[in-house]
Amino acid sequence: MDFNLGPEELEFVRQVRAFLDAQAARPDAEEVMAPDRDAHSQLADSPERRAFNKRMAAMGYLGMSWPAKYGGQEREGIYEYLLNEELALRGMPLIGKGVGCVGKTIIRHGSDEMKAEFLPKILAADVEFALGYSEPSAGSDLAALKLKAVREGSEWVLNGQKVFSTSAHFADWYWVAARTDPDAPKHKGISVFLIPMDHPGLTVHEIKTMGHHRTNQVFFDNVRVPEGALVGEVNKGWTYVCEALDFERFTFYTVNPLLRKFERLLEAIRVAKREGRPLVEDPAVRRDAARIATEVEAAKMLQRLVVSEASKGRVPALEAAMYKVFSTRLGQQITDYALDVLGPAGVLRHGAEDAVDGGVWEHFYQTTPLDTIGGGSSEVQKNIIARRGLGLPLS
């Protein structure tokens, strides 16, 4: 595989960087560009960030890989990857949930009516989605979900609960998986619905987690939706959910934040001192930094495999699982090492006197575990690798 960028791709990166440089001069730049938000930086969870997404839409940056008949440009997936890497480097909202998870699944499986309603809104950045998968008893084992959807005449009635729906407090629509056939094998009786977040019977409760990260519980109390809210075919939702999760891992788990985190580690050990000497002069520290550098390069290559598969029109399930496990673990290892080598100053919070790099390492220590859970936990990814990559049996 040749991962070197061609002239057209390099020109695209140049154009994106020029666009983002212009955004950095705007009065709302501090809200839109926030790399230290870490796990939250990818979300369009404020009016300023949603307005930025509309400016991206006006530039033609949304839906670039979509078919032309749906408003796309039929560009190779590499361009969406390159765009997200530049956005992630600056801590700006990523394309992915609407364009990838929801949009591409609707293109593949949605009805003509659903395509006509949602695809133009996604391209115009007029809509935000929350993903409703996890439940109190069905987190990593998504197929064990219990949210019920019962057909009554021309409607579906949903009752139950979702948990860890990160965007539910600001999203417009809920992309939710529910059990429509309780007697079928657990992977076979699931369907997906699109439901407005302001629908009667939906209640959102905040859950506060580490790193000032907000997620939510969502309760369904006789939520009635029309037949047209069903995505694709009834009881085929497991396939759609798996595809959407694969698209999420491809678009959300960029490598640039990991590279930047490593660069910040190098900056910290150049400045910090031990017994009056810069840490960077310690042979043991230099050795450890070199080891981490090789693993960062391995993460880059694993991400390139994801991009390669997606660019060929295939769903990068195995490749995305390998990259997610490796990169999220590496993000934790970089943070742990920074705290170990920097000593007490490394754990000082933002605003504390003598905090290293503005106290960002203490914040990273709280947020990096979230990356190993969102989009499918590391345990789920390992199961995917075992089954699809190594051909191992389920039990």
The model's pTM is: 0.85
Q: How far apart are CA 108 and CA 271, in angstroms?
A: 52
Taking residues 365-375, report their average pLDDT.
82
| For residue 251, pLDDT beyond 80 | no
What pLDDT does residue 64 have? 94
| For residue 220, pLDDT beyond 90 | yes
106: exposed, middle or buried (C-beta count within 10 Å: 0-12, 13-18, 19+)?
A: buried
What pLDDT does residue 131 have? 92
Reported as a pLDDT band with limits 50, 70 and 90, residue 249 is low
What pLDDT does residue 381 have? 87
Contacts of 375 (CB under 8 A, 6+ apart): 245, 248, 249, 252, 253, 324
Which of 72-76, 134-138, 200-204, 299-303 is predicted with the least confidence, judged by mean pLDDT?
134-138
| For residue 135, pLDDT beyond 70 | yes
Taking residues 200-227, report their average pLDDT.
93
- Closest Cα to residue 358, out of 228, 237, 268? 268
Give yes or no for a contact between 33 and 41, defined as CB atoms under 8 angstroms apart.
no
Reported as a pLDDT band with limits 50, 70 and 90, residue 379 is confident
Taking residues 102-115, report their average pLDDT.
94
**Rounded-to-10 torsion of CA 321, 325, 328, 330:** -130
Reported as a pLDDT band with limits 50, 70 and 90, residue 346 is confident
Token pair belonging to 270: 């150049």
Buried b (16+ CB within 10 A) or exposed e, 75-99: bbbbbbbbbbbbbbbbbbbbbbbbb
Taking residues 261-268, report their average pLDDT.
93
Taking residues 17-33, report their average pLDDT.
96
More confident residue, 21 or 383: 21
More confident residue, 16 or 304: 16
What pLDDT does residue 38 have? 66
Q: Which residue type is seen at 301?
A: M
Do domains 7-95 and 130-234 share one topology? The answer is: no
Taking residues 11-40, report their average pLDDT.
90
What pLDDT does residue 60 have? 96
What pLDDT does residue 140 have? 61
| For residue 227, pLDDT beyond 70 | yes
| For residue 372, pLDDT beyond 90 | no
Q: How far apart are CA 293 and CA 287, in angstroms?
A: 10
What pLDDT does residue 165 have? 92
Taking residues 21-25, report their average pLDDT.
97
Which of 42-56, 105-119, 297-311, 318-332 is predicted with the least confidence, judged by mean pLDDT?
297-311
Could you say which of 1.10.10, 3.40.50, 1.10.540, 2.150.10 is the CATH number of the domain covering 7-95? 1.10.540
| For residue 3, pLDDT beyond 70 | no
Taking residues 254-267, report their average pLDDT.
91
Residue 115 φ/ψ, nearest 5 degrees: -60, -45
What pLDDT does residue 130 have? 95
- CATH topology (fold) of 253-389: Butyryl-CoA Dehydrogenase, subunit A; domain 3 (1.20.140)
Q: Which residue type is seen at 54?
A: K
Reported as a pLDDT band with limits 50, 70 and 90, residue 212 is confident
- Closest Cα to residue 266, out of 244, 293, 242, 243? 293
Beta strands per DSSP E along the chain: 129-132, 148-152, 155-163, 173-179, 190-196, 202-208, 214-226, 230-231, 273-274, 277-278
How far is C-alpha 43 from the chain's CA centre? 9
More confident residue, 235 or 316: 235
Please tell me the class of the 130-234 domain: mainly beta
Angle at 125 between CA 233 and CA 117, to 5 degrees: 35
Q: How far apart are CA 373 and CA 131, in angstroms?
A: 14
The domain limits of the chain are: 7-95, 130-234, 253-389
More confident residue, 39 or 216: 216
What pLDDT does residue 246 have? 61
Taking residues 171-199, report their average pLDDT.
94
What pLDDT does residue 275 have? 85
| For residue 250, pLDDT beyond 60 | no
Per-chain mean pLDDT for the chain: 89
392: exposed, middle or buried (C-beta count within 10 Å: 0-12, 13-18, 19+)?
A: exposed
What pLDDT does residue 369 have? 85
Q: How far apart are CA 292 and CA 271, in angstroms?
A: 18
β-strand partners of 351: none
